[in-house]
Amino acid sequence: MKARANGAHATAECELCRDAVTRVVVLELLGDDAHVVDADGHESVVAIDFLPGVRVGEALLVRLGVALAREPAKQGERS
């Protein structure tokens, strides 16, 4: 996943297919799903089956209701 600035919000795209993904933050774990919020404050539930060990507060990249990757940690941050 490659991140890029787009106006006021950061967006990212899949390096393979170039589809846009949405950055979300995990609010609550719900088994194989997670309750998340995006930068605009929209909340939803997404599947986290592909990402073992997801934690509350973690930033994920989501496409079509499925978490595809963790957002890479910024330089100097701990992952």
pLDDT exceeds 70 at position 22: yes
The CA-atom distances, in angstroms, between 11 and each of 16, 18, 32 are 16, 12, 25
Q: How many whole angstroms separate alpha carbon 49 and alpha carbon 32? A: 6
Mean pLDDT, rounded, of the chain: 80
At 54, list the tokens. Answer: 């997801």
| Class in CATH terms, 21-70 | mainly beta
User: What is the structure's pLDDT at 40?
Assistant: 94
pLDDT, tens digit (0-9, with 9 covering 90-100), for 36-45: 999 999 999 9
Looking at the chain, how many residues does it have? 79
| Greatest distance between any 2 Cα atoms in the chain | 34
Confidence (pLDDT) at 50:
94
Residue 2: pLDDT over 60:
no
